[in-house]
Amino acid sequence: MPAAKIRSVIIAEELALFRDGIAALCELSGRFHVVGCTSDGEQAWKLLEEKTPDVVLVDLQIPQLHSLEIAKRLTEPGDGMRPVPTRCVILAMRRDRKTVLEVLRAGAQGYLLKTSTGAQLVDCLEQVIEGGIYVSPAVDVQSLFAPEKRGMVEDPISRLSAREFQVFSLLVEGVRAKEIAARLQLSPKTVDTYRSNLMKKLDIHDIPGLVKFAIQHQIIPA
């Protein structure tokens, strides 16, 4: 029986200890070889184009280039960008429905919670490389796609577009507008427009109010 093929992995995670831990788990499994590690999104994209690994693990809140921009580029490359045949797994702490859905809609094939076990990491990598979709078991997958029941009050966060939610997520994490523009590859003026629109939709008109809302909806910890 032939030995299983060793798959290549790139890890894009801001926290060095966490990044090194994932790399060690991948290597110890005997099934994956880490061909690159980085702490920012721009460098991650350069590594992806250079190494074209089987899979990339990206921190949801990676600086420089937003994680979902990386996922989109992998599946829908824009002008001047060649396709990269790499599967994408997003690493996150959030379990809220909106975040998980936006990650999958952006084109990522995996959503792995940072509270996952080493065995779940390996399982995730194997599933996405084989063409599947993986969502951490701690996330209630049925609720992600369940239709809204009649009479239920609409979740205000569901009114936000994908871009508005990305801007919202970064604002409540304390990221400044100029950096948000850089991460999302947008102009500062466009970011201001998204911020204005999302505040109007949520009927919240300052950053502290957005943070309180995010805590109440378990998007960020209290």
Output the domain CATH number for residue 160: 1.10.10.10
Segment holding 9, helix H or strand E: strand 7-12
148 within domain boundaries: no
Q: Which amino acid is at 203?
A: D
pLDDT digits (tens, 9 = 90+) for 162-202: 999 999 999 999 999 999 999 999 999 999 999 999 999 99
Q: Domain check: are 25 and 76 in the same one?
A: yes
CB within 8 Å of 41: residues ≥ 6 apart: 12, 58, 62, 63, 64, 65, 66, 67, 69, 70, 183
- Give the pLDDT confidence score for residue 130 in this predicted structure: 93
CA distance 75 to 85: 8
Q: Domain check: are 116 and 162 in the same one?
A: no
Q: With a threshold of 0.75, does the pTM exceed it?
A: yes
The domain total for the chain is 2
Q: Which residue has the tokens 């399982």?
A: 123
pLDDT digits (tens, 9 = 90+) for 41-65: 999 999 999 999 999 999 999 999 9
Mean pLDDT score across all residues of the chain: 90
Q: Which of the residue ranges 88-97, 136-145, 182-191, 211-220 would you say has the lowest mean pLDDT?
A: 136-145
Q: Is the pLDDT of residue 68 over 50?
A: yes
Domain boundary (143, 175, 194) is at 143
138 within domain boundaries: yes
2 within domain boundaries: no
1 within domain boundaries: no
Q: Is the pLDDT of residue 79 over 80?
A: no
Domain boundary (116, 143, 170) is at 143
- Residue 61: C-alpha distances to residues 32, 90, 119 (Å): 24, 9, 23
Q: Domain check: are 41 and 128 in the same one?
A: yes
24 within domain boundaries: yes
Domain extent for 190:
156-216
87 within domain boundaries: yes
pLDDT band at residue 1 using 50, 70 and 90 as cut-offs: very low
Q: Domain check: are 110 and 52 in the same one?
A: yes
- Give the pLDDT confidence score for residue 5 in this predicted structure: 85
Using the 8-state DSSP alphabet, how is residue 158 labeled?
G
Q: Domain check: are 196 and 134 in the same one?
A: no
CB within 8 Å of 55: residues ≥ 6 apart: 7, 8, 9, 10, 86, 87, 88, 89, 125, 128, 129
Q: Which amino acid is at 123?
A: D
Q: Is 56 in contact with 34 (CB distance < 8 Å)?
A: no
